[in-house]
Amino acid sequence: MKTIKIEGVTLHLAHPDELDLTWVGQEELLAQVLAAWLVVDERDLPLNPRLLGKPGVGKTTLAYAAGQKLGREVYLFQATMDTRPEDLLVTPVIAGSNKIQYMASSLVTAMLRGGVAVIDEANRMSEKSWASLAPLLDSRRYVESIAAGIKIKAHPDFRICVTMNDDASTFEVPEYIHSRLMPQIVVDFPSTDEERRILAHNLPFAPDFILDYVVNFLQLAHQAHERFTVRDGINIARYAFKLSSSSTTKTRRHLTKVSGQEIFRSCLIQAITQILGEDALEHVSH
């Protein structure tokens, strides 16, 4: 584990996240995030974009992909309603010989290493936690750790992005924080073609008729203003594929001589029911 010393205090750094996430389609959204982070003059500062959208539309993937596009280490921090300022910054822990070690969060590690920090589902945090980030999100670009008794300045290459679900706020985000989290980038449902490409990327083993079926289901749901997302579609297709590959289903197919597509359609119906509920079946085309 890497360490760094600040004002005589040794911080143990976190590890970057190395995930197999790829942003597919909606290239204009990726361009918007990168534009927000751009510095056009030595007197300029990067912005702190806020990605807003329904759960499952790919906000975290978008932020991660933008960090990768910059060629930076990316650090994800999962916010919850229990997140404390010390969770966001520096946490003291008891190590060997009853000595205190100071563990830098993923956010602080990104600050120190010039990486990209993504605070996921940030609108679940309380105002007390947000207050600890206020100086980081304006021209000061530092945080103060009460636990470690130090001030931590952000590397010039540090960038930050937060994601927020438009239906999952546990606390109201303070206005003084809202003004620091700009621009707001709305991540909506992808187009039919983009949705199919996302499914194909995540389900490379699925035949075309499965992808077509799931995309058609999702598009009908979007038209009905349902909150079903491509993440739901991926889970439905994956579970249906597992159901159709089970020994029980294979035996049924052998005994009844039903076609593979008919068996799979039955498995898709079962998967939709178990994942989204019976009401979702009204968006299944017949």
The per-residue pLDDT for range 5-14, each reduced to its tens digit, is 999 999 999 9
**Mean pLDDT across 222-236:** 92
The yes-or-no verdict on residue 256 having pLDDT over 70 is no
Higher confidence at residue 268 or residue 117?
Answer: 117
Residues 22 and 16: beta-carbon distance below 8 Å: no
Give the least confident one: 58-62, 66-70, 202-206, 274-278: 202-206
Reference 121, options 52, 181, 48, 68; nearest CA is 52
Phi/psi of residue 68, each to 5°?
-65, -35
The yes-or-no verdict on residue 154 having pLDDT over 90 is yes
pLDDT in tens, 233-243: 999 999 998 88
**Mean pLDDT across 75-96:** 93
Residues 130 and 139: beta-carbon distance below 8 Å: no
Task: Tell me the average pLDDT of the chain.
Answer: 90
Q: What's the pLDDT at 250?
A: 52
Collect all residues with Cβ–Cβ distance below 8 Å to 112 and sequence separation of at least 6.
Answer: 4, 11, 13, 104, 152, 154, 155
Token pair 């992909």 is found at 65
**Mean pLDDT across 181-210:** 91
Q: What's the pLDDT at 161?
A: 97
The yes-or-no verdict on residue 251 having pLDDT over 50 is no
Q: What's the pLDDT at 25?
A: 84
Residues 185 and 50: beta-carbon distance below 8 Å: yes
Give the least confident one: 19-23, 46-50, 174-178: 19-23
Q: What's the pLDDT at 20?
A: 87
